[in-house]
């Protein structure tokens, strides 16, 4: 049964919701990705292209671990249904238990602004972005109709 929440409140809840906990093995996701670069990682002497290769590898490994644990409820109206990667871009897809017909543009603008702020205020995400990574978010309503999507590749 769907919880009836106004679209503005629904989008606000999603934008400010806590991150979902996942059982991920960070060592498994990263070790094979950084090993080929040895001490260049520690000394920060990698090229932009090499950082993007590492990010793409870590994203692919992490996405595989996380996607296997989905779907996960984020809050009463939000479900994270898919994570994936495409090179140095990490992709999130959320289903909001709202109807697109009830969503206003200012709701979407607030969701996008809050998502950008959350990503840019997160130290790990902002560092990844600075090294050439990006995050792509896609939100759909309960019928699968696209509400909005955005890519964060700069803070």
Model confidence pLDDT, tens digit, residues 109-121: 999 999 999 999 9
pLDDT in tens, 103-147: 899 989 999 999 999 999 999 899 999 999 999 999 999 999 999
77, 85 in Cβ contact below 8 A? no
Neighbours of 15 (CB within 10 A): 19
Structure tokens at 147: 């509400």
The whole-number pLDDT of residue 24 equals 81
- Average pLDDT for the chain: 85
**Residue 7 located in a structural domain:** no
pLDDT in tens, 47-94: 999 999 999 999 999 999 999 999 999 888 899 999 999 999 999 999
d(C-alpha 141, C-alpha 136), whole Å: 17
Q: Please state the domain count of the chain.
A: 1
Instruction: Give backbone dihedrals phi and psi of 107, rounded to 5 degrees, phi first.
Output: -65, -45
**Residue 108 located in a structural domain:** yes
Q: Domain of 125?
A: 63-152
**Residue 56 located in a structural domain:** no
Domain of residue 76, CATH code: 3.30.300.250
**Residue 1 located in a structural domain:** no
**Residue 80 located in a structural domain:** yes
């Amino acid at each position: 049964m769907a919880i009836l929440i106004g679209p503005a409140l629904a989008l606000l809840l999603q934008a400010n919701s806590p991150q979902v906990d996942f059982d991920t093995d960070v060592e498994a996701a990263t070790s094979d990705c950084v090993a080929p670069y040895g001490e260049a990682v520690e000394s920060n002497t990698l090229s932009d292209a090499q950082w993007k290769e590492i990010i793409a590898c870590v994203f692919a490994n992490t996405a595989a671990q996380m996607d296997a644990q989905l779907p996960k409820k984020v809050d009463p109206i939000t479900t994270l249904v898919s994570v994936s990667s495409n090179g140095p871009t990490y992709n999130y897809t959320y289903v909001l238990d709202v109807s697109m017909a009830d969503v206003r543009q200012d709701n979407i603008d607030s969701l996008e602004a809050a998502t950008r702020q959350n990503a840019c205020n997160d130290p790990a995400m902002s560092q990844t972005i600075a090294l050439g990574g990006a995050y792509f978010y896609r939100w759909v309503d309960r019928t699968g109709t696209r509400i909005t999507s955005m890519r964060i590749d700069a803070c």
